[in-house]
Amino acid sequence: MFSAVRACVAPALLLAAVSAPAWACTPVDFMSRPVPEASDAPALDALRLAYPDLQVSTDGTAVSADGETWVTFRGPPPASPEAALANPSPADQFMQVYPLGDDLSGRTQPYFDPGRFRNQRLFGMLWFASEGAARQSLVRVPFGGLADAAVMVTSHRGVDCQLGAVLDRLRASEQDLSRYFRQPGGGFNWRRISGTDRLSAHSYGIAVDINAELGGYWRWTGAEAGNVGPYENRIPAEIVAAFETYGFIWGGKWHHFDGMHFEYRPELILHSRIVQGTR
């Protein structure tokens, strides 16, 4: 009897050890965590849920991560999409609702780029104001089991943990997804976005480019800004869903498509769920 019990327990323990995440952390599943059923301020609610240390002023007009430096939440309406991209307010980051799942239809509309609008003061507050500070937080996240490669991302706010959870999910896939993770475009890189003077999300260590050859990037097509043609997607929905679950948006949904690019923006995932009433 005793040995029969042991025989039952031992394989279970073995299985648990094999399937345990490689990351000593508890990742957040942003697709299933509870969100308000209704909200008068979905953008602020999403920001507070995504970044619990973020404070909102009593009149709701400014946000702060340390209680000392405040960023005005809403500015005058941008004169054009280009102006919004160049200098969005934090509120402008939410003017387009990021489409969850396999909905790629939005990108036919010029400047439908939910997630490309980034207020640099807010990002500096939530993430890093200098390259040195960003570098001190970096962690190497290996793609082992998918590909012999790795990227550097920040450990701040558990981004490395969230990426680890994405990779663990994809390692368990029935499909062979290895080619998407070979020769990745990279993670941390303190740099300006091509053709602009704005810092890339890669500067904060919150973005990951997977295989650039399979991803596709609008600038490589020779298209003009605001007039980008069709995007021939080769990234499986399973990969997009895994990233979105753990808080990363995908650039393949943008008019100015960047199909290799995944970016940790849990506030946009939560905002989408609050607005769409998906729970």
* Residues at the site binding Zn ion, with contacts judged by CB under 5 A: 207, 209, 261
Nearest approach in angstroms of CB 140 to Zn ion is: 18
Nearer Cβ to Zn ion (156/261): 261
Nearest approach in angstroms of CB 251 to Zn ion is: 7
Nearest approach in angstroms of CB 201 to Zn ion is: 7
Rounded distance between C-alpha atoms, residue 70 and residue 157, angstroms: 20
Could you tell me if 23 and 161 are in contact, meaning their C-beta atoms sit under 8 angstroms apart?
yes
Rounded distance between C-alpha atoms, residue 92 and residue 115, angstroms: 10
Nearest approach in angstroms of CB 254 to Zn ion is: 11
Nearer Cβ to Zn ion (167/207): 207
Which residue shows structure tokens 């981004």?
159
Report the residue number whose CB is nearest to Zn ion.
261
209 by Cβ neighbours in 10 Å (0-12 / 13-18 / 19+) ranks as: buried
Residue 106's CB: how many other CB atoms inside 10 A?
16
Nearer Cβ to Zn ion (122/151): 151
Virtual torsion, Cα 146, 151, 153, 158, nearest 10 deg: 20
Which residue shows structure tokens 């082992």?
144
Which strand (E) or helix (H) includes residue 213? helix 212-215
Distance from first CA to last CA of the chain, Å, rounded?
Answer: 46
Nearer Cβ to Zn ion (137/211): 211
Nearer Cβ to Zn ion (64/120): 120
Nearer Cβ to Zn ion (259/266): 259
Nearest approach in angstroms of CB 208 to Zn ion is: 7
Residue 63 vs residues 66, 126, 127: alpha-carbon distances, Å:
9, 10, 14
Nearest approach in angstroms of CB 189 to Zn ion is: 8
